[in-house]
Amino acid sequence: MLGNLEVIIGEKGSGLTSTLREKYSPLQETNKIPFIIFVHKKTFDEANEKTKKIYTDSNAQVVSSAAEMYSHINFYKIEKNKDGRVSKVSQYQQIFIDGIHNFGDLSVIALLDSAAYHGKKVVAAGNLTPKDSGFPYPIMPALIAKADNVTVLSKNENLEIITGCMFSSKSQKLARKLNDLKSKNYNVLAFKHALDVERFKEKETFIRGQSNDPYGFEAHPVSKVEEIEEFIRNYNKKKIDCIGIDEINFFQEKELLRADMPEEIYNLVCCQKSQKNQNFNYLSPYEIIERDGKKEVYFKKPKIQSLIEKLVKEGVKVIVSGLDTDYRGEPWEWFTLFCMESTINKSTAQCSEEGCLNPATRTMRLTYDSNSKNYKKSEYNEERVQVGTNIEFQQHIYTSKCREHHCIEYPGDSYIFNPKIVYPF
């Protein structure tokens, strides 16, 4: 069975708990599909008496770490099939989590991702940031990036995000939206990262889907955020109504910001530092630097996000498109943008595995092996950005896969990052 990871996001009071309850209530009524509900201890403690009763009546498990959650999920029952053979069957096929933002343990991301890779349906609900703070909860950006689909309850129509795996029509959707706005007399500007020019020379100044797509939108190739800022400064035509940015995942420049952040964010980040297993700290949008025996927490903010925040604040509609994860299934640097109020469209392709009809949410890279004269799956530790297409006779070929068929080579100690074995089910 194909697993799935869904994240429901919104502000406090936006109906997260009730939306999550709508997901599992039908299962309670039919009692046919085994499922389990978790709620973070902080979320439970802060809930009103009515909500606490709902949790209690639903037999929700109150937890505060990945280890506690895993001890409940990794429970098997013994069944006999028609032939009399005995087999282990996972007790729970669906998993629901409320208050996911309150987990400081980043291995929770790996746990839920692994559960989805093992065929379980996972639905997690949480807030993006403490109210009006601008600082995302540490677990949320990577969790949203790895999710197969996202439900947004608190939307900002001035920021649209189109994301997903390769060949899921992200650029095509962006071009169509920009053309639609232009036809309504909006003054629209578009930019694309210059690295994309290396893939299709004929697409150099256009945002399109495939190379033969007749519909496109003229875009300005740029390599840095500063080039976009300079272009906007020197733009002497009428007011800009909308800006589109394609291949946003290639804008990887970050700046470390040390500002007054909410105490709960500081404590959650420091919790990551104190975890015995720190293998997943790379998923955090924060960095801890110790000076004179004191911990200083910095926000690793993408420069492209600072520009987008400024544009949205000025009333400019911004639409961006880009990959949510790389060929390894890991988030790109722009993932904190998911925690801005926006509409998020997770695009899917069709799995390229022969005979598979599942939706593809992952990008897989194949690398040409000169010894075998054939393509093999790429290794985890290879260089992250390698320009390629789905056209053969290149050094690198990219394709789209579902969770079941997405795979890479995990040499040496990097097996810890393999979602199919890091948490055995």
- Helix or strand or coil: residue 68? helix
Instruction: Identify the pLDDT of residue 369.
Output: 81
131-158 tens-digit pLDDT: 878 899 999 999 999 999 999 998 888 9
Q: First and final CA of the chain: distance in angstroms? A: 14
Residue 340 has pLDDT above 50, yes or no: yes
CA 54 → CA 6, 16, 17, 202, 343, distances in Å? 22, 14, 10, 58, 30
The mean pLDDT value for 22-46 works out to 93
Instruction: Identify the pLDDT of residue 52.
Output: 96
Express as a percent the part of the chain with pLDDT over 90: 61
Tell which wins on pLDDT, 239 or 200. 239
On whether the CB atoms of residues 275 and 65 are closer than 8 A, the answer is no
Structural domains of the chain, ranges and CATH numbers in brackets: 4-151 (3.40.50.300), 159-252+302-347 (3.40.50.300), 359-417 (3.30.60.20)
Q: Are strands 61-63 and 121-126 parallel, antiparallel or unpaired?
A: unpaired
The mean pLDDT value for 333-347 works out to 95
Q: Return the structure tokens found at 259.
A: 């500002």
Residue 175 has pLDDT above 90, yes or no: yes
On whether the CB atoms of residues 328 and 377 are closer than 8 A, the answer is no
Tell which wins on pLDDT, 12 or 208. 12
At 196, the pLDDT band (50, 70, 90 cuts) reads low
374 burial (CB, 10 Å; 0-12 / 13-18 / 19+) is exposed
Residue 319 has pLDDT above 70, yes or no: yes
The pLDDT mean for the chain works out to 87
pTM score, whole prediction: 0.91
Nearest-angstrom CA–CA distance, 73 and 37: 10
On whether the CB atoms of residues 74 and 425 are closer than 8 A, the answer is yes
The mean pLDDT value for 106-112 works out to 92
Instruction: Identify the pLDDT of residue 211.
Output: 47
Instruction: Identify the pLDDT of residue 154.
Output: 84
Express as a percent the part of the chain with pLDDT over 70: 87
Nearest-angstrom CA–CA distance, 142 and 7: 11
Residue 61 has pLDDT above 50, yes or no: yes
Tell which wins on pLDDT, 43 or 29. 43
Instruction: Say how many C-beta atoms besides its own lie within 10 A of residue 148's C-beta.
Output: 24
Residue of 85, 158, 152, 163 lying closest to 125 (CA atoms): 152
Nearest-angstrom CA–CA distance, 213 and 207: 10
**Residue whose pair of structure tokens reads 């400019």 in the numeric block:** 316
Instruction: Identify the pLDDT of residue 169.
Output: 93
Q: Return the structure tokens found at 317.
A: 């509609």
The mean pLDDT value for 117-136 works out to 92
